[in-house]
A = this chain, B = another copy of it.
């Protein structure tokens, strides 16, 4: 038996560095696999920030300008202005040749073909070519997560296919003859944890406690980057996973100093990690939360940080000596109420908002504790 920390450390050896391209519209939430270098100047021309009149600032002593053209956003007219001339410019329009100042329309009056300027501020109201992003500039770094703001940077550059780290494909298999009689819970709970850890769950279905069937299923699953099974890791006659993993690969650890989840096994098959969770539904969920997010988020190049909140534990709780205990709790008005009633019952964790970890030789009295919010 090894400690949770040692088990987690062993799983740290697994990484993934596969890259792919996704369409810009699908890149939200993904992790950039390359630095993004701007291929263009943004804006690609000197652009008016206001509706108004473009003039030459050296002409400002005069207050009356002759209107010689109109520039609209997206228009392809070319206007050049000279001494004492002005051109209408809409917001977003190209600045006419010769102009270097925009007078907002509200500070002007149009009289016939002339424009009178009443007030000119300090600002030019011009966004110069490249002032947003310059061609050749690194605008986003590898490892950056695409969000609702920086996706705008990618869009502004006209990037259609975004280089991202590939999400680890995670094969999920539930084992056990009992699945002929009861509903498979673990495939669903594990796939939800996989999805929120940046992985892509691949449902492989269920398999009975028949060693050749189990081996066949695992071999198929080894196409994926990670294999997760549940069931078959205790010491009963039908607990085949320790045999299967050692025959197809190597067992890295079996039995972890934790409750629930003690029978937990991990191994490696064809270089891929295989995590064998207990069949008991709450044990499986706890092991899923303890072992999957750190490993999968690292493989997905996503940051991992548990969300911890202080709360008052409603009753004293103790760990079994030498074992770390994971106590599911429901949070109500800052109080953490334990929900655990047995590792085989889904309602032991089905209504929980978080988990309180109790150290290997620790008693928590009522009072303030750290709750790991799920």
Interface, chain A (partner B; CB < 8 A): 24-25, 28, 42-44, 47, 49, 51, 72-76, 90-93, 105, 127, 131-133, 139, 147-158, 176-189, 191-193, 195-196, 203, 208-209, 234-238, 279-281, 285, 288-289, 328, 341-347, 349-352, 374
Distance (whole angstroms) from the CB of A204 to the closest CB of chain B: 13
A152 B349 Cβ-Cβ under 8 A: yes
Q: State in angstroms the CA–CA spacing of A52 and B92 once bound together.
A: 78
* Pair B153/A347 contact, Cβ less than 8 Å: yes
Partner of A74, one of B74, B154, B177, B351: B177
- B74 close to A345 (CB less than 8 A): no
- Chain B's closest residue to A181 (CB) is B74
With a CB–CB cut-off of 8 A, which chain B residues contact A237? 72, 90
Question: Hey, which chain B residues are within 8 Å of A238, CB to CB?
Answer: 72-73, 90
Contact check, A189 vs B236: say whether CB atoms are below 8 A apart. no
B189 touches A155 (CB 8 A): yes
Find A177's partner among B51, B72, B149, B281 (CB 8 Å cutoff): B72
In Å, the complex CA distance between A156 and B92 comes to: 58
Minimum CB–CB distance from A372 to chain B (whole Å) comes to 13
Assess the A193–B148 pair: CB atoms within 8 A.
yes
- Please determine whether A42 and B148 come into contact, CB atoms closer than 8 angstroms: no
Chain B residues whose C-beta falls within 8 Å of the C-beta of A156 in the assembled complex? 182-183, 185, 281, 346
- By the criterion CB–CB under 8 Å, are A152 and B203 in contact? no
CB closest residue in chain B, given A328: B149
CB distance from A99 to the nearest CB of B (A): 17
A183 touches B196 (CB 8 A): no
A and B contact pairs by CB, cutoff 8 A, 29 listed:
A24-B188, A28-B191, A28-B192, A28-B196, A44-B181, A44-B182, A49-B343, A51-B235, A72-B238, A74-B179, A74-B181, A127-B344, A127-B345, A132-B344, A132-B345, A133-B346, A148-B189, A148-B196, A148-B285, A148-B289, A148-B374, A149-B374, A150-B351, A152-B185, A152-B186, A153-B346, A153-B347, A155-B183, A155-B185
Partner of A92, one of B51, B92, B176: B176
Give the residues in chain B near A154, CB-CB below 8 Å: 188
Measured between beta carbons, the chain B residues less than 8 angstroms from A184 are 155
Q: A148-B196, A149-B189, A150-B351 are in contact. Are A73 and B346 (CB under 8 A)?
A: no
Minimum CB–CB distance from A144 to chain B (whole Å) comes to 10
- Chain B residues whose CB sits within 8 angstroms of the CB of A157 once the complex forms: 183
Nearest Cβ on chain B to A11's Cβ, whole angstroms: 19
Chain B residues near A105 (CB, 8 Å)? 235
A152 in contact with B350 given A127-B342, A191-B25 (CB within 8 Å): yes
**Known contacts A74-B177, A132-B345, A132-B347, A195 near B28 by CB under 8 Å:** yes
Given contacts A25-B191, A127-B344, 15 further A-B contacts (CB under 8 A): A28-B195, A28-B196, A47-B344, A72-B177, A73-B176, A91-B236, A91-B280, A92-B279, A93-B178, A147-B192, A148-B196, A148-B285, A152-B189, A152-B349, A152-B350
Chain B residues positioned under 8 Å from A289 (CB to CB): 148
A157, chain B: closest CB distance, angstroms: 7
Q: Is the CB of A350 within 8 A of B153?
A: yes
CA gap between A258 and B366 in the complex, in Å: 48
Distance between Cα atoms of A243 and B43 in the complex (Å): 29
Contacts of A139 in B (CB 8 A): 347
Cβ contacts under 8 Å, A349 to chain B: 149, 152
Q: A374 vs B147: C-alpha distance in the bound complex, in angstroms?
A: 9
